[in-house]
Amino acid sequence: MINHESKIPVKVLNSPELKNVKKQILVGPNDGFDGFLREFIISEGGFTPLHKHDWYHLNYVISGEGILIINGEEHLLTRGSVAYVPPMTQHQFRNTGKGELKFLCLVPEKGDSY
């Protein structure tokens, strides 16, 4: 399977729990993969929900600056940062920089919840 991000739909996510977030599913079960590789783009001042669930996240920051809150502790994210969020760990991504925070997020098949 070969594709290009310019051909993949972008979903805009906004609610009281998350703000200024866009998501693309780059690879998923429809492509024969047993998980999801997603790209998130969080605009300035944006954030994902503060939540936890029973699956992991593997993340790689493509560009921008922000923080990843894990169980109440803030961790700086910059281009090239890699993060593992274990199952049942409360977490949230926040854009604290100027411009967009872009990162890849790999989760198992049950992990694409929004």
The residues facing 83 across adjacent strands are 59
Domain enclosing residue 43, as ranges: 9-106
Nearest to 111 by CA among 16, 50, 31, 25: 25
The answer to whether residue 1 is domain-embedded is no
Give the whole-angstrom CA distance, residue 40 versus residue 34: 19
Number of domains in the chain: 1
Instruction: List the structure tokens of 41.
Output: 């783009």
The answer to whether residue 114 is domain-embedded is no
Give the rounded percent of residues in the chain with a pLDDT score beyond 90: 91
The answer to whether residue 29 is domain-embedded is yes
Give the whole-angstrom CA distance, residue 108 versus residue 41: 20
- Quick check: 80 pLDDT over 70? yes
Global confidence as pTM: 0.93
Confidence of residue 114 (pLDDT cuts 50, 70, 90): low
The answer to whether residue 113 is domain-embedded is no
Range 87-90, long-range pairs (CB < 8 A, 24+ positions): 87/53, 87/54, 87/55, 87/56, 88/52, 88/53, 88/54, 89/52, 90/50, 90/51, 90/52
Provide the CB-side half-sphere exposure for 110 (13 A, CA).
5
